Structure 1
Amino acid sequence: MIKKFVAASSLAVSVLAFGAQADAKESNHVVKEGDTLYKLGMQYGVSVQDLQTANNKNSDMLIPGEELTIPASITAEEKDLLARLVQAEAVGEPYAGKVAVATVVLNRVESNLFPNTIHGVIYDGTQFEPVLNGEINKPAGAEAKKAVSEALAFHGQGNNSLFFYNPKKAQNDFLENKQVTVEIGDHVFLK
C-alpha cells in the first residue's frame, strides 16, 4: 500500500481532519468545488494513486458532483500510534522530516523484511528509541498528525526509504552499506 517516500513535502495545505476515516472501510465522497485528489488523500488518509485506481482515473481531474470511491485506509488507532512515533522520533526536525519518518514506517509495512502492520513495525524489537524510553506513549501534536496524513496521501511517489538515523547521535554499522535516499534536518534516510 504505502511504498515510497517524498523528500520535500512542504506543500501549503490546511490541516484536514486527522481522524476523518475512523475505521478502515471503503466509503464514498461527492466531489465539491475545490476538492483535489491530494486534499481527499489527506482527508481520508489514502494515496492519490489509490484514489485514481479505485475510480479508474488516468488524471487528477475531478468534476463537482462526481461520486468517488474512497478505498480503505489504516485505522484511527494506527494513525494515532504512527503520529505518536513521528512526534517522538522527529521532535525538532523539519516538517518534511516528520513526513519521511512516517513514510519509513509505512514502507516497512510493505517490505518483506519487516512485520506487515504498523503496530508490528513500531514494536519490532529495539527498532525505535521512543518505544524503549516510553516517549511513544505521549500524545502527538497537530504537525505529527498532518505528517502521517501526508505520508499516506503521497504513497507510491518517493525513494523507498526503509531506515533513518541521526549520525550526530548514533553510529550504525548496519546502515553503512545502505543507499542514502535523502537527508532532511539531522536525519539520514536510507534504503
Structure 2
Amino acid sequence: MKKMIFTICAAASIFFIGGNDTQAQSVTHSVVAGDTLYKLGQQYGVSATEIQRANNKSSSMIMVGEKLTIPASISAAEKDLLARLVLAEAEGEPYAGKVAVATVVLNRVAHKDFPNTVTEVINEVSNGYYAFSPVQNGRINRAADSESIRAVNEALAFRGQGAGSLFFYNPTIATNHWNATRTETIRIGNHVFSK
C-alpha cells in the first residue's frame, strides 16, 4: 500500500512540477554485438530481470539490431548517495563486499518492512539508532570512488537475485550483536550478511 501511495504521489509531483535532470527515465537501446542483458543492466544501472520484463522476453536472448526498452533506474542523486555509503561502509573490503553492501540497500527498498527509496533507507533512524553509522558520523559525505560507483551499478544489474540479505555487520567491531541472531546468508571480507 505504501509503495502505491508513494508511486501516485511521485507521478503527481512529476506531472504538476515537472521532472528534473536527476530523475531516472526509461531509454531505448539498440543491441550491438557483445551486449547481454546483464551487461546492459550494469551500463544503465537497472536489473537485467527488469530489462527482460520490460521487453516481454521469456528468455535472456537478445539479437543484434534489436531495440530494447531500458526501464528507469534510480536517480543519479540516489546512485551517488548509495556509492558514498558503499565507500563509507566497505572501504578496504573486497569488491564483492562492496556489491553486497549496495545490494542490502536495494533489498531493503524492495522489502515491505523498510522505506521505499534508496534515500529513505540510507537515512532511516529507528528508536534513535541510525540504520547506517556513516550517516550519523558524516563519513557518507565523502565523494565515492570509481570502485564504489561500479559496485552500485553491478548491484543494480544483479537486483532481485542472490540470497536476499537485508543486514550486514562486522563482528569484530560491532557493539550490538543483534545481527548475529539473524539468518546468515554469506560472509565477505570482514562483513557477515544476513536476513
* Superposition TM-score, scaled by structure 2 size: 0.84
* Aligned equivalent of 2:86: 86
* Aligned equivalent of 1:116: 116
* Aligned equivalent of 1:63: 63
Q: 1:181 aligns with which of 171, 181, 185?
A: 185
Q: Which runs of 5+ in 2 are unaligned?
A: 1-20
Runs in 1 of length 4+ with deviation above 2 angstroms? 171-174
Secondary structure in structure 2 of the residue aligned to 1:116:
coil
Task: Report the structure, 1 or 2, having the larger helix content.
Answer: 2
State whether structure 2 residue 171 is matched by structure 1 residue 158. Answer: no
Instruction: Render the CA deviation track for 1:50-92: whole Å, top value 9, x for unaligned.
Output: 1111111122222111000111110000000000000000000
Give matches, 1:18-167, under 5 Å: 23-125=23-125, 126-167=130-171
Instruction: Render the CA deviation track for 1:160-180: whole Å, top value 9, x for unaligned.
Output: 100000000014342232100
Q: Is the 8 A contact 2:107 2:160 kept in 1?
A: no
The Cα of 1:33 is off from its aligned counterpart by 1.2
Number of equivalenced pairs: 171
| Higher alpha-carbon deviation: 60-69 or 78-87 | 60-69
Instruction: Render the CA deviation track for 1:119-143: whole Å, top value 9, x for unaligned.
Output: 1111111111111111100000010
Secondary structure in structure 2 of the residue aligned to 1:107:
helix
Q: CA RMSD in A?
A: 1.3
* Superposition TM-score, scaled by structure 1 size: 0.86
* Aligned equivalent of 1:6: none
The Cα of 1:34 is off from its aligned counterpart by 1.2
Q: 1:168 aligns with which of 165, 172, 194?
A: 172
Query: Which AA in structure 2 matches 1:142?
Result: S
Q: Which runs of 5+ in 1 are unaligned?
A: 1-20
Instruction: Render the CA deviation track for 1:7-46: whole Å, top value 9, x for unaligned.
Output: xxxxxxxxxxxxxx96311111011111111110001111
The Cα of 1:157 is off from its aligned counterpart by 1.2
Cα distance in 1, alignment partners of residues 49 and 114 from structure 2 = 23
Query: Which AA in structure 1 matches 2:36?
Result: T
Secondary structure in structure 1 of the residue aligned to 2:193:
strand
